[in-house]
Amino acid sequence: MDQRFLQIGSQLVGKDYRFYPIHAQENMICKRNGWFIRASHQPKPKEEYHCLLYIPKEDFGFADMQGIRRNPDLQNMPIYALERSYLALPYFAADFDHLEELIQEARTTDDPWFSTTSDIKFAWVTDIHLNFLEPELSRNFCTSILEKQLQGLIISGDIAESHDLHTHLMELAMMLPFPIYFILGNHDFYGNSVTNVTQEIQKLCQDYKNLIWLTDAEAIPFGSEVCLLGHDGWADGRYGDFFHSSVVMNDYLLIQDFQEFFLHKRDMKNVFQKLNELGDRATAQVQIKLKKALDQYRRVIFVTHVPPFAEASIYHGRFSEPEWLPHFACKAMGEMLITSMRQYPQSQLLVLCGHTHGMGAIRIQDNILALTGDAEYGSPIIQYIFQIA
């Protein structure tokens, strides 16, 4: 470890630090209060230190992280989850001198999306995969949501699988006495077709009025300036390198719309065309709803399952590789959102998505912030509780 890094690290986390070796070229500086830094040395020819600042979630709220995010040198760097109780923000050697200043700035920065006084309070969850839980654990998860005294819950897909999706949504509707705004993820179609699941969900929402399937709904107002809209979305195969990817998604084995192309003949050309079709259809529908929303509201929350931007596709703590990207993001949706928001420079778009199970926060452009959710099978969590100003 070079001495300059040790000096910066000790200034940031305090004099009381210790080393924890991770592997040959990596060390950790730690302070007992829970803040710690990890640095990794990059071998030549790119000789530099990378640094991750780990901060307990309960000590450092999301709005604080956005204060750091506004530093132009740190644009498009993801916030990772090291463990389920930590946020981790990457820095590079050139930024070490600014760490302390940035942290102080972050503590006093207000974010237009977050408030501590608003009456509009809702939680966001994603990739909860309730089919992996025993009934008692599923009820406990609902109870943990109830305790937050919310006005609503947002679910960005992967609730269960098609054979028990109806049951889990029904249980949520009966246990939670407020609106449940949800979309579907790829897992929700497993064992069935897109058309069949769509029809079943439409009927379920007619029977349970607090279930609102955003794909089938117009913009929902949250006060006079903010609205919520959403769509299931779909990876469209256009990011990365689809035809050289060795990745085989369970979607192609378990969703009927893909099985005819994949199970017997591995017809990847038709799989690609189907992904294009689903992604383009979702994009066209969102484009219409988004324009109507932006004509009326200054801020829009858009919920979708698949990240619309390659930068927001975070898998195993890293940006997705080219062979994963075709299955993990929707290029058509992302390009449409960027183009649309450039036409409304005074408006703000907050994108909530899941799918890749990796936590991230990416400022795509000045008026687009994309959040991706952390997830682990069998252990659903609340991603954030928002109080919209």
**The predicted structure's pLDDT at residue 319:** 76
pTM of this structure: 0.76
Q: What is the mean pLDDT of residues 38-44?
A: 39
Last residue of a domain, one of 107, 133, 156: 107
Q: What is the mean pLDDT of residues 355-383?
A: 85
Q: Is the dihedral of CA 68, 87, 380, 353 positive or negative?
A: positive
Q: What is the mean pLDDT of residues 114-136?
A: 82
Alpha carbon 66 to its chain's center: 15
Using one digit for the tens of pLDDT, what is the confidence trace for 199-219? 999 999 999 999 999 999 999
Q: Are residues 177 and 47 in the same domain?
A: no
**The predicted structure's pLDDT at residue 376:** 87
Is residue 336, in this structure, part of any structural domain at all? yes
Residue range of the domain that includes 149: 121-387
**Does residue 359 surpass a pLDDT of 90?**
no
The domain that holds 203 is classified in CATH as: 3.60.21.10
Is residue 253, in this structure, part of any structural domain at all? yes
**The predicted structure's pLDDT at residue 94:** 36
**The predicted structure's pLDDT at residue 371:** 85
Q: Are residues 54 and 132 in the same domain?
A: no
Using one digit for the tens of pLDDT, what is the confidence trace for 82-101? 333 444 444 333 344 444 44
Is residue 221, in this structure, part of any structural domain at all? yes
Question: Is 249 in a helix, a strand, or coil?
Answer: coil
**Does residue 225 surpass a pLDDT of 80?**
yes
Q: Are residues 221 and 310 in the same domain?
A: yes
Give the percent of the chain with pLDDT over 90.
53
C-alpha to C-alpha distances, 58 to 32, 34, 75, 216, nearest whole angstrom: 15, 11, 24, 36
Q: What is the mean pLDDT of residues 278-299?
A: 97
Give the percent of the chain with pLDDT over 70.
68
- Run of H or E including 99: helix 99-107
**The predicted structure's pLDDT at residue 153:** 96
Using one digit for the tens of pLDDT, what is the confidence trace for 42-79? 333 333 334 444 444 444 444 344 444 444 443 444 44
Q: Are residues 330 and 370 in the same domain?
A: yes
**Does residue 229 surpass a pLDDT of 50?**
yes
Using one digit for the tens of pLDDT, what is the confidence trace for 294-319? 999 999 999 999 999 998 888 766 67
**Does residue 103 surpass a pLDDT of 60?**
no
The domain that holds 92 is classified in CATH as: 3.90.1150
More confident residue, 32 or 151: 151
